Amino acid sequence: MLTMLASADDVALRGRHVLTVPDLSPLEIGTVLTLGAHLKSARNTDQLPLLRGKTLGMLFEKPSLRTRVSFEVGMTHLGGHALFASGNEFMVGSRETPEDAARVLSRYVDAILVRTHAHEPLERFSAAATVPVINGLSAAAHPCQALADLLTIRERFATLDGLRLAYVGDARNNVAASLAEAAVMMGISVNFGAPPTHRPSEAFLAHLQELGKPRGATARAFTSAIRAVRDVDIVYTDVWTSMGEEHLAERNAASLLPYRVDAALMSAAAPHAIFMHCLPAHRDDEVSADVIDGPQSAVFDQAENRLHAQKALLVALLTDLKGMPV
Ligand code: CP
């Protein structure tokens, strides 16, 4: 049985949408991480049916392994149910407006997870929905991945505050954006290592600086991968070409080859540094096989933590968290 530790009067996540990381405050992110760690520690004992009778609608315009399966398994663990629609069954805005689809689905299910191509239809969908909408990856953001990433980093270092992370490669993609927002909000300084073609915009760097200010975290972009990685605690990369941008694959590979994370690049990081990747990975493109399969790699803990962080997020969005250790 889960231990009942604390009241959660100061955390009001119930009923909220989570489309981007800053939809959550640092306090709320901390709540989700603490609850996620607790649910993880209880995974082999007893799981309270915290979501008994609840249904999560999962709508996917794009392929998924981790997001789809971890949300569905998470709902099952918590006594709830998940249903999945993809392809012809669901494309935001294709058969009806995003608003009509959201209004209808809100009458069937208790929360909706959406993976879309563009971010704007997701915003329209969530504005009309009357149940929580969770972004399961859009062109702009991947907040669920970022929560699992922070849970993994906190497990490895027992803290987030004051750590340093380097994101190397395509630093304009959705994973990089949400990871960097989550990191600076929780006190982790971020270095991007990317060529000019894949460097975050100055506006986004300024946004990160603002988000990081309360905890003294910074965000900087380097053209040199080695300079970005020097002495950091965490080295992170992702595929060179995101889903839906396959026509850019050749160009991206040519630009990003110097940013492959290999043993030489890892040796510039702190000796205790970990390697992270949201998966799926392409060995010997963005990361060498000896790094992703080596002792510094945290990628499978990271993938597992999708399950625990998302269970916590679902409990936070669908219950009042009373009695939960948050
Ligand atoms: N990392 C991630 O979102 O994986 P999937 O695309 O398999 O869901």
Q: Is 91 exposed, middle or buried (0-12, 13-18, 19+ CB in 10 A)?
A: middle
% of residues, the chain, pLDDT over 90: 87
CA distance 89 to 85: 6
Q: What is the pLDDT of residue 4?
A: 38
Q: What is the pLDDT of residue 10?
A: 57
CA distance 239 to 161: 27
160 with 53, same domain? no
Q: What is the pLDDT of residue 298?
A: 98
At 202, the pLDDT band (50, 70, 90 cuts) reads: very high
pLDDT digits (tens, 9 = 90+) for 272-302: 999 999 999 999 999 999 999 999 999 999 9
Residue 49: CB partners within 8 Å, gap ≥ 6?
A: 78, 79, 80
Q: What angle do CA 42, 44, 47 make, to 5 degrees?
A: 55
215 with 172, same domain? yes
Element (H, E) at 57: strand 55-60
Q: What is the pLDDT of residue 95?
A: 84
Q: Is residue 325 part of a domain?
A: no
135 with 162, same domain? no
18 with 122, same domain? yes
Given phi > 0 = left and psi -120 to 50 = alpha, else beta, which region is 87? left
- For ligand 1, atom 1, the nearest C-alpha belongs to 278
18 with 54, same domain? yes
Q: pTM (2 decimals)?
A: 0.95
Query: Which two three-digit tokens encode residue 35?
Result: 């609850």
204 with 95, same domain? no
- For ligand 1, atom 6, the nearest C-alpha belongs to 64
120 with 193, same domain? no
pLDDT digits (tens, 9 = 90+) for 117-159: 999 999 999 999 999 999 999 999 999 999 999 999 999 999 9
Residue 324 predicted with pLDDT over 90: no
* Whether the CB of 115 sits within 6 Å of ligand 1: no
- Check if the beta carbon of residue 36 is closer than 8 Å to that of residue 308: yes
Rounded to the nearest whole angstrom, what is the distance from the C-alpha of residue 67 to the centroid of ligand 1?
5
Q: What is the pLDDT of residue 220?
A: 98
At 34, the pLDDT band (50, 70, 90 cuts) reads: very high
- The average pLDDT across 22-26 equals 98
Q: What is the pLDDT of residue 9?
A: 56
71 with 197, same domain? no
- For ligand 1, atom 3, the nearest C-alpha belongs to 67
* Whether the CB of 173 sits within 6 Å of ligand 1: no
* Whether the CB of 77 sits within 6 Å of ligand 1: no
Q: Which atom of ligand 1 is nearest to the CA of 136?
A: 3
Domain count, the chain: 2
CATH number for the domain including 99? 3.40.50.1370
Gyration radius of the chain's alpha carbons: 19
20 with 93, same domain? yes
295 with 173, same domain? yes
Residue 305 predicted with pLDDT over 80: yes
Q: Is residue 1 part of a domain?
A: no
Q: Is residue 204 part of a domain?
A: yes
CA distance 34 to 37: 5
Q: Is residue 177 part of a domain?
A: yes
Q: What is the pLDDT of residue 190?
A: 98
Q: What angle do CA 147, 151, 152 make, to 5 degrees?
A: 115
Residue 55 predicted with pLDDT over 60: yes
Domain that holds residue 136: 8-142+305-318
118, 120, 125, 130 alpha-carbon torsion, rounded to 10°: 130
- The average pLDDT across 85-98 equals 80
Q: Is residue 323 part of a domain?
A: no
CA distance 167 to 236: 5
Residues composing the chain: 326
Residue 46 predicted with pLDDT over 80: no
182 with 138, same domain? no
Three-state DSSP at 71 gives helix
Three-state DSSP at 149 gives helix
286 with 164, same domain? yes
